[in-house]
Amino acid sequence: MCGIVGYLGYRDAYPVLTDGLKQLEYRGYDSAGVALSDDRGNLRVYKEKGKVADLENYAADKDKSGHLGIAHTRWATHGEPCARNAHPHVSASGRFAIVHNGIIENYPVLRTNLEAKGYVFQSSTDTEALVQLIDYIAAQTASDTVSVLQTALKMVVGAYAVALIDRNSPDRLYAARKSSPLAVGIGESEFFIASDMNPISCYTDKVVYLEDGEIAEMSCAGGLRIVNLDNAECSHEIHKVPKNLGMVQKGGFEHFMLKEIFEQPDCIRDCMRGRVNPGDKTVTLSSVREFRDRLLSAGRFIIVACGTSWHAGLIGKQLLESLCRIPAEVVYASEFRYSNPVIHDTDVVVAISQSGETADTLAAIELAKQKGAFIYGICNAVGSSIPRITDAGSYIHAGPEIGVASTKAFTGQVAVLVMLALDLAREKGTIDDICYARTVEALDSIPDKMKSVLKENGRIASLAKIFTYARNFIYLGRGYSYPVALEGALKLKEISYIHAEGYPAAEMKHGPIALIDDEMPVVIIAAGNALYDKILNNVQEIKARKGRVIAIVTEGDDVISKIADTVIEIPQTEECLTPLLSVIPLQMLAYHIAVCKGKDVDRPRNLAKSVTVE
Ligand code: F6R
């Protein structure tokens, strides 16, 4: 949430900053701004409501010179999205400009105290309280900028990643972090800062990740210095990252979301590479090899995640319980962290996250760590915060996911969970050889089967036109298909703004059936389900009440396909792998309905890709 970019060096800062912001727009896109400094410290600040392109239009005819600058793309927390609340915020004296990601939780107290001292606030944001506090401390103490920042940040309660420029030090760029990500890129006589390494990787492969409570001071003459809030020097490891990570294009697709839906066969292949061996029909995760005893001796698995990743977690629970016979729970990370959970040091906590930066998931991990649990991460974003604090884990290798609605990350997460469960089950001896080999073989054929599901795209696009009228949708599934029903409903709400709910199919009779009438579309996932006959009954019940059934069935189904209004076929596979196929038509249906309704599919209203605040 909110993207930060900063630059100091020999290049013109403005294009570096705006190009960087475009790569961070997945983090927020309700307003954007930039502050540029010339060599004498004269500040120019441009801000605009809307996307980075709106900022560029606004600044088109303005002076954009300067080799030092900071920039921000915002996801509003405090104060409506508008130019006044957009970052950078400039202190009352005009000396400091700041951009911030996170929440200053004690800003009301800070603001009241500063107003009592005569400060007049220009915005409704929590961030402005911080820059005015910095201004006030600087005026009172006449200390150097780093000392001023240390004093100010010690007074702050909350989460922050900040970038700061000081009119009195036009040769320096400052940054600090606590609980919100920030990376520093080191080039030849130049520095970059950004919320993730994508904007940095266009210019340098050397990155330092700031840790909580650290302040970075960068100058072309003096290099990079990192200290903590007590002014102790902090050693920092320089990581090497691949170049040009962020240059992701739509590759001929109308939207990133559609491109990412179509990338799924390749992503799953990449995810399985070196792990699934189709020759001898085995699955080997290096993390399971390395931490075999700890994982096998686990008394319980607790999966923590949010949103789509939580849906993948629900599938993971079923896999771990049915294949490995290990008790497993799935908890929303936001609930887990405040529920005083019972955690034993024999527990394994599995944290699932596409971004690796979700604030609630990070907090859940910290809590579980304090209680001695072993933490296993399943993440997509390489080098993000979660993989850096977990004991072990597996990347899903899906590549950057730009569309705000998660698609390929979900199937990647499920694929990793399948491999984890299969590998553990084999080690534990809870799966027989035939079932193991059959499931590995079926997993290996999933990418090809995904390709055949993707061929339904044109038909689903036509189908979508029929349903743009709908104000509500119901999604039903059982067993492994229940989380898919939840995921299908979430996709539809996120990007089309149609209200949709997912239920276990058998729960329909306990209430939701009251909603069924001839206008209610019901998506029912019947494919590959051991309880097919019971799902068939549900379809009959819906049709008896004139509901409009869209059924996801296995190829060759000739029972439900005769009763449902529309059927979408998917290839046959093992039941536990069905979600990898059945979710794809639901992603496409949500996508096409949203397109038909003229919605901004990749950047839906009110959402951000990376939820780095609570
Ligand atoms: C839905 C979606 C969100 C995320 C959730 C967790 O399409 O993208 O529900 O799944 O915010 O994010 P990560 O996986 O980055 O922790």
Query: What is the domain count for the chain?
Result: 3
* Beta bridge pairs of residue 378: 352, 394
- For the segment 287-316, the average pLDDT, to the nearest whole number, is 97
Q: What is the pLDDT of residue 529?
A: 81
Do residues 205 and 298 share a domain? no
How far lies 568's CA from each of 37, 177, 411, 518, 565, in Å?
A: 57, 48, 19, 20, 10
Rounded Cα distance between 57 and 37, Å, is: 20
- For the segment 180-201, the average pLDDT, to the nearest whole number, is 93
> Judging by DSSP bridges, how do beta strands 521-525 and 548-554 pair with one another?
parallel
Q: What is the pLDDT of residue 251?
A: 76
Domain containing 92 — which CATH number? Answer: 3.60.20.10
Contact 550/565 with Cβ under 8 angstroms? yes
382 — pLDDT class (breaks 50, 70, 90): confident
Q: How far does residue 281's CA lie from ligand 1's centre (Å)?
A: 32
Q: What percent of the chain has pLDDT over 70?
A: 99
Residue nearest to atom 9 of ligand 1 (CA): 307
Do residues 428 and 301 share a domain? yes
Q: Which residues of 467-506 are buried (b: 16+ CB within 10 A; e: fewer)?
A: beebeebbbbbbbbbbbbbbbbbbbbbbbbebebbbbbbe
Do residues 236 and 332 share a domain? no
From 190-204, 231-245, 272-286, 537-551, the region with the lowest mean pLDDT: 231-245
Do residues 75 and 103 share a domain? yes
Q: What percent of the chain has pLDDT over 90?
A: 88
Do residues 484 and 595 share a domain? yes
Do residues 482 and 337 share a domain? no
Q: What is the pLDDT of residue 245?
A: 65
Q: What is the pLDDT of residue 22?
A: 93
Do residues 285 and 144 share a domain? no
Q: Looking at ligand 1, which atom is closest to the CA of residue 410? A: 10
Q: How far does residue 306's CA lie from ligand 1's centre (Å)?
A: 6
Residue nearest to atom 5 of ligand 1 (CA): 307
Q: How far does residue 609's CA lie from ligand 1's centre (Å)?
A: 7
Rounded Cα distance between 527 and 507, Å, is: 18
How many CA atoms lie within 13 Å of 452's alpha carbon, on the beta-carbon side? 13
206 has pLDDT over 90:
yes
Domain containing 330 — which CATH number? Answer: 3.40.50.10490
78 has pLDDT over 90:
no
247 — pLDDT class (breaks 50, 70, 90): low
Residue nearest to atom 3 of ligand 1 (CA): 307
- In this structure, is residue 612 part of a structural domain? no
Do residues 413 and 507 share a domain? no
Q: What is the pLDDT of residues 559-593, one digit of tens each?
A: 999 999 999 999 999 999 999 999 999 999 999 99
Which helix (H) or strand (E) is 583 found in, with range?
Answer: helix 578-596
- In this structure, is residue 197 part of a structural domain? yes
Contact 75/53 with Cβ under 8 angstroms? no
Do residues 130 and 266 share a domain? no
Q: How far does residue 353's CA lie from ligand 1's centre (Å)?
A: 7
- What range does the domain containing 48 cover? 3-240
Q: What is the pLDDT of residue 252?
A: 83
Contact 137/152 with Cβ under 8 angstroms? yes
What ranges make up the beta strands (E) of 454-498?
472-477
Contact 320/423 with Cβ under 8 angstroms? no
- In this structure, is residue 174 part of a structural domain? yes
Catalytic one of 49, 178, 491, 609: 609
449 has pLDDT over 80:
yes
**DSSP per-residue letters across 103-127:** EETTHHHHHHHHHHTT----SS-SH
- In this structure, is residue 531 part of a structural domain? yes
Q: What is the pLDDT of residues 502-548, one digit of tens each?
A: 999 999 999 999 999 999 999 999 998 888 999 999 999 999 999 99
Rounded Cα distance between 574 and 527, Å, is: 10
Q: What is the pLDDT of residue 231?
A: 96
What tokens were used for 378? 């399943």
Quick one: residue 533, left, alpha or beta (phi over 0 = left, psi -120 to 50 = alpha)?
alpha
* Residue ending a domain, choose from 444, 477, 503: 444
- For the segment 286-314, the average pLDDT, to the nearest whole number, is 97
* Residue ending a domain, choose from 378, 412, 444: 444
Q: How far does residue 610's CA lie from ligand 1's centre (Å)?
A: 7
**DSSP per-residue letters across 29-96:** -SEEEEEEE-TT--EEEEEEES-HHHHHHHHTTS----SEEEEEEE--SSS-SSTTTSSPEE-TTS-E
- In this structure, is residue 607 part of a structural domain? no
Catalytic one of 2, 220, 324, 379: 2
* Residue ending a domain, choose from 240, 263, 289: 240
- For the segment 594-607, the average pLDDT, to the nearest whole number, is 93
Which helix (H) or strand (E) is 460 found in, with range?
Answer: helix 457-466
Q: Looking at ligand 1, which atom is closest to the CA of residue 413? A: 14
What tokens were used for 186? 């080191």
248 has pLDDT over 80:
no
Q: What is the pLDDT of residue 494?
A: 97
Contact 410/258 with Cβ under 8 angstroms? no
Q: What is the pLDDT of residue 366?
A: 96
Tell me whether the omega of the peptide bond preceding residue 88 falls within 30 degrees of 0, making it cis. Answer: yes
Pocket of ligand 1 (CB under 6 A): 306-309, 353-355, 358, 361, 405-406, 490, 494, 611
- In this structure, is residue 613 part of a structural domain? no
Do residues 369 and 464 share a domain? no
- In this structure, is residue 606 part of a structural domain? no
Q: What is the pLDDT of residue 246?
A: 57
- In this structure, is residue 262 part of a structural domain? yes
Do residues 63 and 113 share a domain? yes
What is the rounded (10 degree) CA torsion for 580, 585, 587, 590? -160
Do residues 394 and 514 share a domain? no
Cα-based angle 235, 239, 241 (whole degrees, multiple of 5): 160
Contact 98/89 with Cβ under 8 angstroms? yes
What ranges make up the beta strands (E) of 306-431?
328-332, 347-353, 374-379, 392-395
Does the annotation count 2 as an active-site position?
yes
